[in-house]
Amino acid sequence: MLKKKIGILHPYIPEKATVDEWDVLEQVKYISSALKTLGFDPVPVIFDLNLEAVGITIKMLNPAFVFNLVESVNGRGSLIHLAPSFLDYLGLSYTGSKTEAMFLTSNKIVSKSFLAASGITTPASYTLSSLKQDIPVKGRFIIKSAWEHASIGLSQDSVVSVEGALELISELKKAQKRMKGECYCEEYIEGREFNVGLLAGENGGEVLPPAEIIFIDYPPGKLKIVDYKAKWKPRSFEYIHTDRIFNFGKEDEHIIESLKKIAKECWNLFGLKGYARIDFRVDGSGKPWVLEVNANPCLSPDGGFAAASALIGLDFPMIVNRIIEDI
Ligand SMILES: Nc1ncnc2c1ncn2[C@@H]1O[C@H](COP(=O)(O)OP(=O)(O)OP(=O)(O)O)[C@@H](O)[C@H]1O
Ligand SMILES: [Mg+2]
The helix (run of H) or strand (run of E) holding residue 288 is strand 288-294
Residue 134 pLDDT more than 90? Answer: no
Domain ranges of the chain: 5-94, 104-121+190-210+246-325, 125-187
Q: How confident is the model at residue 236 (pLDDT cuts 50, 70, 90)?
A: very high
Question: Taking the CB of residue 174, how many other CB atoms lie within 10 A of it?
Answer: 14
The architecture (CATH level 2) of 5-94 comes to: 3-Layer(aba) Sandwich (3.40)
Is 193 close to ligand 1, i.e. is its CB under 6 Å away? Answer: yes
Q: Which ligand is nearest to the CA of 143?
A: 1
**Cβ neighbours for 13, distance < 8 A, ≥ 6 positions apart:** 21, 22, 24, 25
Residue 153 pLDDT more than 90? Answer: no
Residue 262 pLDDT more than 80? Answer: yes
Mutation choice for ligand 1 from 126, 225, 293, CB with most ligand atoms inside 8 A: 225
Q: Is the pTM of this model over 0.85?
A: yes
Q: Report residue 305: phi and psi, to 5°.
A: -65, -45
Atom index in ligand 1 nearest the CA of residue 289 equals 1
The helix (run of H) or strand (run of E) holding residue 206 is strand 204-207
Per-residue CA distances from 62 to 1, 54, 92, 93, 186 (Å): 17, 12, 9, 11, 44
Per-residue CA distances from 180 to 55, 75, 176, 185, 280 (Å): 30, 12, 5, 15, 26
- 258: burial class by Cβ within 10 Å (0-12, 13-18, 19+)? middle
Average pLDDT over residues 300-327: 97
Is 112 close to ligand 1, i.e. is its CB under 6 Å away? Answer: no
Q: Indicate the length of the chain as a whole number.
A: 327
Q: Which ligand is nearest to the CA of 23?
A: 1
CATH of domain 104-121+190-210+246-325: 3.30.470.20
Q: 151: CA distance to ligand 1 center in Å? A: 7
pLDDT at 150: 78
Alpha helices per DSSP H over 107-143: 108-117
Residue type, 186: E
Q: How confident is the model at residue 205 (pLDDT cuts 50, 70, 90)?
A: very high
The per-residue pLDDT for range 60-83, each reduced to its tens digit, is 999 999 999 999 999 899 999 999
> From atom 13 of ligand 1, which residue's Cα is the shortest distance away?
226
State the sign of the Cα–Cα–Cα–Cα dihedral 225, 275, 114, 287: negative
> From atom 9 of ligand 1, which residue's Cα is the shortest distance away?
291
The helix (run of H) or strand (run of E) holding residue 46 is strand 41-47
Is 9 close to ligand 1, i.e. is its CB under 6 Å away? Answer: no
pLDDT at 300: 93
C-alpha triplet 308, 311, 317: angle, nearest 5°: 75
- Range with lowest mean pLDDT among 148-152, 248-252, 315-319: 148-152
Distance (Å, whole) CA 90 – CA 63? 12
Is 294 close to ligand 1, i.e. is its CB under 6 Å away? Answer: yes
SS3 content of the chain, % helix, strand, coil (to 5): 40, 25, 40
Is 8 close to ligand 1, i.e. is its CB under 6 Å away? Answer: no
Q: 279: CA distance to ligand 2 center in Å? A: 5
Distance (Å, whole) CA 167 – CA 214? 31
Residue 281 pLDDT more than 90? Answer: yes
Q: How confident is the model at residue 54 (pLDDT cuts 50, 70, 90)?
A: very high
Torsion on CA atoms 245, 225, 145, 126, rounded to nearest 10: 110
> From atom 14 of ligand 1, which residue's Cα is the shortest distance away?
151
Residue 292 pLDDT more than 90? Answer: yes
Mutation choice for ligand 1 from 196, 279, 299, CB with most ligand atoms inside 8 A: 279
Atom index in ligand 1 nearest the CA of residue 151 equals 21
pLDDT at 152: 86
> From atom 25 of ligand 1, which residue's Cα is the shortest distance away?
150
